[in-house]
A and B are shown apart, each in its own frame.
Chain A
């Protein structure tokens, strides 16, 4: 029951949604619509699992005084305060919006922008043209980089059109092959999940 129950649930949920979509069976429409709306609530619960795990890990780290343990108290305090503010006042609240705009946004945006420094410093040491294919990759990269910006247009008026052609034709062809291949893989995995052939997501023997 503990092992087969979830697999049965997966099959029923997936089959109802799929069959109703392809065969348009009126008797299933209500349940397909309902399952679709239930999914939104399930995902909302699942989205907070990350926070729950974070609390578990940092509570352990703080109480057992492992490395950087004072920061774990800071994290737990910030998480608690933010959540209480948001749940009690709502994200529409002015203070919530103020903290979001002036704390979360700059922290997140800056963390992602740090990559640009690494790209600049790694461009010298990591981009090696050892094969003809690597040379093709480099040529394509340089043409696209120059076609995207004004300095390329200033060097040669034809760069934007050339870069555009690279993107619209050979790049699109390569990407389409990847998209079709990935779609086939996704379809296969989805079928395996619904039919109960894929069970690794349930984990454990408990």
Chain B
């Protein structure tokens, strides 16, 4: 049996174990591989850094737990930056799950910076509709959210005294897995000129590039790497920076398998049975 036939017949569960080992080992014993800084991440940093003092920012974690590993570290990193600069935050989400992350971000990081609910930040309940919700925000922000997540009417929230409409929002930071960042671009940025930045899963990042090039999107964080870069910029290393060595080894494994598979094909071996044929 040739080497390639052997690889092709290995029970796929051994591959799974190998993958877990390659991921867990660098988490336990970090290797310290270098991390380059991307232009898009730096653009997000500069956009947040350039905000006028005491700006009001919409923070919109539009994701479910399925994307938490990539987007929660991004949420934390940018929230650190916003709070370091003392900006006021409206934490809301277009996703039913996202509201729980909005709440977690404010309640875990707020105390570190002395942030007070209602004064420095407010958490909004979920409003259904996604693009319809964003469109309604643009038309009349105060009528979309009439009370906060805890049921307090906005007329009793001190921070809301300075919010008349969407033009009082200095920036929208949207973390999205798919279309939701587009909704902010379509319904707010294109119509009212509200700047939009944020992050997305690595899967979505190729689709963000046209909006960066056209100037519609003011930078974005791409997946776990983007979160790691931002953690370095705001000097708050966290889960993302810790996970990049593991990311490296997992990528190396996939690349090695792709090369081996194509070598087997090109060298004319018998077509490998599905990896996992040894089940």
Binding site for B on A (CB under 8 A): 32-33, 36-37, 39-41, 43-44, 46-47, 90-92, 97, 100-101, 104-109, 111-113, 116-117, 119-129, 138, 141-142, 145-154, 160, 164, 167-168, 171-172, 175-176, 179
Contact = CB atoms under 8 A, between A and B. Distances in A.
Contact of B100 (A91, A109, A124, A149): A91
A124 B209 contact: no
A152 to B, nearest CB: 8
B19 A116 contact: yes
Contact of A108 (B15, B66, B257, B265): B66
B3 interface: no
Contact of A151 (B68, B129, B209, B252): B252
Interface in B227-279: 244-245, 247-255, 257-258, 260-262, 265-266, 272, 274-276
B34 A125 contact: no
Interface residues of B, number: 73
18 contacts: A40-B136, A101-B100, A108-B65, A109-B66, A109-B69, A120-B253, A124-B8, A145-B254, A148-B223, A150-B31, A150-B33, A150-B35, A150-B244, A150-B248, A151-B249, A160-B38, A168-B39, A175-B209
Interface in B177-224: 202, 205-207, 209-210, 212-213, 222-223
Given A36-B135, A117-B15, A142-B258, 15 more contacts: A40-B129, A44-B128, A47-B128, A108-B97, A109-B65, A109-B69, A116-B19, A121-B16, A123-B257, A124-B7, A142-B255, A145-B255, A167-B209, A172-B209, A179-B207
B85 interface: no
B254 A123 contact: yes
Contacts of B213: 168, 172, 176
Contacts of A164: 38-39
A40 B150 CA distance: 20
A124 B66 contact: no
A39 B208 CA distance: 28
Contacts of B261: 123-128
Nearest to B100: A100
Contact of A167 (B36, B65, B205): B205
A175 B207 contact: yes
Given A40-B127, A167-B206, A125 B39 contact: no
Contact of A121 (B15, B65, B202, B258): B15
B210 A176 contact: yes
A117 B14 CA distance: 11
Output the residue of A104, A112, A113, A121 with the most chain B CB within 10 A: A121
Q: Which of A92, A113, A148 has the most CB of B within 10 A?
A: A148
A33 B212 CA distance: 31
Contacts of A111: 66
Q: Which of A41, A106, A116, A124 has the most CB of B within 10 A?
A: A124
A125 B132 contact: no
Contact of A127 (B8, B207, B248, B258): B258
A33 B66 contact: no
A124 B258 contact: yes
B140 interface: yes
